[in-house]
Amino acid sequence: MTLSMVPLIEHKKRGGRHSEDELTALCRALVAGSIPDFQIAAWLMAVCWRGMDAEETLAFTRAMVATGDTLEWSRLGRAVADKHSTGGVGDKTSLVLVPLIAAAGIPLAKMSGRSLGHTGGTIDKLESISGFHAELSPQETQSQVERIGCAMVAQSGALVPADKLLYALRDVTGTVDSLPLIAASIMSKKLAAGAHVIVLDVKYGSGAFMQSRAEALSLARLMVSIGEGAGRRTRAVVSEMEEPLGRAVGNALEVREAIDTLHGAGPDDLRELTLALGTEILVLAGRAARGGPDSPAPHHGRDEERAELRARLVHLLDTGAAAAAFERMIEAQGGDPGVVAHPERLPSAELVHPLRSPGRGSAWVAAVDARKVGETALDLGAGRRSKGETLHLGTGIVLHKKTGDETAPGDTIATIHARTEAEAMTAAERLLQAFTFRDEPVPAPHRDWQTIAASGEGSPVA
Ligand code: URA
């Protein structure tokens, strides 16, 4: 089909829907370089205002996938899993989840990004492990997963080139915040990576990409419908991120916390979210193997099935099996596996500065603003403001007090890992602004996580 962009833009501007053929032609022409940027930008803005329905978004996602390579896992003869997080401050879930799921016998290939802005990137975190190599080709990724059950690699440019081009334009034309464009962008990369089972960690709140729970639920439902529409067993867990996940924010500090969690310890919120996501992967992988999302649990009810699968994952953490899987993966990717037993080998900052609780009496932490913590970590060199900026892998923040905790005057509420005294002082001032205190007890945050399944119905998981 030959493509005339002006009628396509006009049609979307008036709220029309596009056919699969039109969307395929648009993505092909985009990658061939035959549409000027200004026309693509105009079309993106029309989509922002007028949207796309679920069917159209699935067709667009498929058209994007068709512009590049795809990974194929049939040689393994088993369901392969994948996970995606919409990202947030202190989100090191993948570092725990990937080896944990591999230890449970489900192969997993995870492609991740680098840090940009106030949220970190999984690849930067892994690169704080000496020698770790994340730039694997799709073939190298496949052969590593076949050999040791998992890989964590940088997103390959050969997969979904249309997304790279579109995202670059969206970024400079105010067209990032469109649900269909976000869902198609994320899911095209998941579909191209070829997994049979996809679990999505969709966050909302001050530290997250989506600000409200309603937006996060809509995005989760749309992504689940795309995954299922493309024949993948897909589920989402929607969780709040008003404060950072876990206590550590910053690359090596987060790897250290992930290692603690892989050894059966670690902060409760990180461990519980990892177990919730991991349980959904095992449920879906079992059902994919038995033939469909509605296949009944084999011997018992769904709640019992979940409890059993969760207990299996807890056992893998507590016995060191998940930590051993992390060691194998680090070794396979050229890194120093000794960091798992000796996390003190990870890079550290030049100095550690305590941030003390202000005030004259006892107080309770009412909030720790994730965005402000993320921005302070960025100032310390743990993140990058523009592409290609060098990171300081040992810098960052460790929170000692989180929402609901009581503090006495002079208690250490956080430690700042900085390169210089001056940077530590500036960070201390900024970080204090992230804390809100009250002079009466504050309950710990309620975990109202919700799973979104194929039917679109939400069910509480915690
Ligand atoms: N992450 C992506 O990969 N794409 C988007 O559009 C937004 C977040």
Residues in the ligand 1 pocket, defined by CB under 6 Å: 181-182, 185-186, 209
Nearest atom (ligand 1) to Cα of 181: 6
Q: What tokens were used for 458?
A: 């939400």
| Coil, helix or strand at residue 289 | helix
* pLDDT value at residue 457: 47
Angstrom distance (rounded) from CA 250 to CA 398: 9
Residue from 194, 155, 189 nearest 73 by CA: 194
Q: What tokens were used for 213?
A: 């729970």
Residues in the chain: 462
Nearest atom (ligand 1) to Cα of 113: 3
Residue nearest atom 3 of ligand 1, based on CA coordinates:
186
Over its C-alpha atoms, the chain yields an Rg (Å, rounded) of 22
Strand (E) or helix (H) holding 323: helix 321-332
Instruction: Give pLDDT tens digits along the chain (462 positions).
Output: 668 999 999 999 999 999 999 999 999 999 999 999 999 999 999 999 999 999 999 999 999 999 999 999 999 999 999 999 998 899 999 999 999 999 999 999 999 988 777 777 999 999 999 999 999 999 999 999 999 999 999 988 889 999 999 999 998 999 998 999 999 999 999 999 999 999 999 999 988 889 999 999 999 999 999 999 999 999 999 999 899 999 999 999 999 999 999 999 999 999 999 999 999 999 999 876 666 545 555 545 578 889 999 999 999 999 999 999 999 999 999 999 999 999 999 999 999 999 999 877 889 999 999 999 999 999 999 998 887 788 999 999 999 999 999 999 999 999 999 999 999 999 999 999 999 999 999 998 888 889 999 864 455 444
Q: How far is the CA of 176 from the centre of ligand 1 (A)?
A: 8
Place of tokens 């530290």: 207
Q: How far is the CA of 109 from the centre of ligand 1 (A)?
A: 19
* pLDDT value at residue 106: 97
Centre a 10 Å sphere on the Cβ of residue 209 and count the other Cβ atoms it contains: 22
pTM of the model as a whole: 0.94
Strand order in the sheet with 435-438: 406-407, 363-368, 435-438
CA dihedral for 292, 294, 300, 302, sign (positive or negative): positive
Q: What tokens were used for 232?
A: 């993948």
Q: Could you confirm whether 84 is annotated as catalytic?
A: yes
* pLDDT value at residue 299: 47
Q: Could you confirm whether 299 is annotated as catalytic?
A: no
Q: How far is the CA of 16 from the centre of ligand 1 (A)?
A: 24
CB-based contact 393:347 (threshold 8 Å): yes
* pLDDT value at residue 462: 41
Q: What tokens were used for 408?
A: 């006495």
Best residue among 122, 155, 167, 226 to mutate for probing ligand 1's pocket (most ligand atoms within 8 Å of CB) is 167
Angstrom distance (rounded) from CA 406 to CA 439: 9
State the angle between helix axes of 5-13 and 37-50 in degrees (0 to 180), rounded to the nearest 10. Answer: 20
| Coil, helix or strand at residue 20 | helix
Cβ-count burial 127-145 (b if 16+ within 10 Å, e if not): bbbeebbbebebeebbebb
Q: How far is the CA of 24 from the centre of ligand 1 (A)?
A: 20
Place of tokens 């507590």: 318
Largest Cα–Cα distance in the chain?
A: 73
Strand (E) or helix (H) holding 235: strand 233-240
Q: What tokens were used for 354?
A: 């305590």
